[in-house]
Amino acid sequence: MKEDRQQDSDNSNGFKGLLEKIGQAMSGEPRDRVELVDVLRDAQRRELFDADAQAMLEGVLQVSEMQVRDIMIPRGQMVVLSRDDSLDDALKMAIESGHSRFPVVGESRDEVTGIVLAKDLLRYFAERQVGGFNVREYIRPASFIPESKRLNVLLSDFRNSRNHMAIVVDEYGGVSGLVTIEDVLEQIVGDIDDETDTEDEEGDLTRHSPTRFTIRALMPVAAFNEALDADFSDEEFDTIGGLVTHAFGHLPHRGETVTMEGFRFRILRADSRRIHLLEVQTPKPVAEKTDDENE
C-alpha cells in the first residue's frame, strides 16, 4: 500500500513537472495572436512537439478567423444532380465524380431543393425496388448558410447536426457555392486525399528554359535532384516543398524567394497551410533528358 502511495506521489510530481515546463515555455503571456503563433513556433523549435502538431495548432487558430467564403467550392464548380435526372444519369455522375453527396437543383443552380447521398442510389439496387427511379424520392433536406459564417462555428454545427455538406448563399439569397466538413478539417490537418483522388505523376516539373522550371511542392527531393542535377539531402525532408519551407523558416507567401546551393526558388502559389507551386532557376543549364535517360 505504501508503495502504491509512493508511486501515485511520483506520478503526481511528474505531471506537475510537465506543467511547469509548459508554463516556462509559455512564459511572457502573448499579447495577440501573432505573438501566440511565435510562442508555438519557438516551442516546436525546442522540440516540445513536432512540426505536424504545430501546423494543426496554427490551423485551429486560423479556422476561428476564416469565413465560409474563404474555402467554399464556387457555384460554377459544384457537381449537382437535377431533380429530373434518370437513374443512369445519376449513377454516371456519382461514378465520374467520386463524390458521396450531391446537391439537387431545379431549373437553375439557385434552386437547390436538397441533397442526395450516393449510398441511397446503391440502396435502390440492393432492395430491388419495384417501379421507376425518381430522384425526388431520395432528396434529403439541405442546410443553407451565409458566406460570412465562421469556420469554427460551422464545424460545431456540422458535428451537432451530423450534416457533412452545406449550401452557401449570398446576401440576396442566391447560391454562392457549397462547403463540406472535409473542407473545414483540411484547414486544420492539411489535404485529405481518398482513393478517388489522383496525382498527376508527370506534372511535377515543367521546363521553360534550360535554367528555369516550374515544380510542384510535392515533388520528391530525390526526383528533383535527378531531374535538375542537384544534390539536396532527402534525409530530413521528402519533398521540395518541405525543404524550401524549412529554408525560409516560416510558411512563405506568394512572391517570396530563397536561394539554396545556387538554386533560386520563388513561390508561385501557396495557401495558409502549405506551398503548392514554385519556380526554380538553376545555377547552370540543365540538359533536357531523353526518353532513354528517363527510363
At residue 16, the pLDDT reads: 55
At residue 168, the pLDDT reads: 95
Final residue belonging to a domain, choices 189, 221, 243: 189
Give all strands of the β-sheet with 257-260 in edge-to-edge order: 205-209, 212-216, 275-281, 263-270, 257-260
At residue 218, the pLDDT reads: 86
Q: What is the mean pLDDT of each run of 10 residues along the chain (295 residues)?
A: 49 52 58 79 81 78 83 83 85 81 90 90 68 79 93 92 92 90 82 51 75 90 94 88 89 85 89 79 85 51
Pair 114, 218 in one domain: no
Which of 219, 259, 255, 257 has the alpha carbon at shortest distance from 238? 219
Pair 86, 181 in one domain: yes
Which of 46, 58, 69 has the alpha carbon at shortest distance from 251? 58
The CATH number for 234's domain is 3.30.465.10
At residue 198, the pLDDT reads: 44
At residue 201, the pLDDT reads: 42
Pair 57, 103 in one domain: no
Which of 172, 161, 175 has the alpha carbon at shortest distance from 72? 175
At residue 151, the pLDDT reads: 92
Query: Which residue is listed with cell 502549405?
Result: 274
Structural domain boundaries, residue 263: 205-286
Q: In this structure, what C-alpha cell is assigned to residue 293?
A: 535517360
User: Are 244 and 275 in contact, with CB atoms under 8 Å apart?
Assistant: yes
At residue 84, the pLDDT reads: 87
User: Are 255 and 275 in contact, with CB atoms under 8 Å apart?
Assistant: no
At residue 69, the pLDDT reads: 85
Pair 47, 76 in one domain: no
Is the model's pTM score more than 0.85? Answer: no
**Using only C-alpha atoms, what is the Rg of the chain?**
25
Final residue belonging to a domain, choices 22, 42, 66: 66
Q: In this structure, what C-alpha cell is assigned to residue 56?
A: 494543426
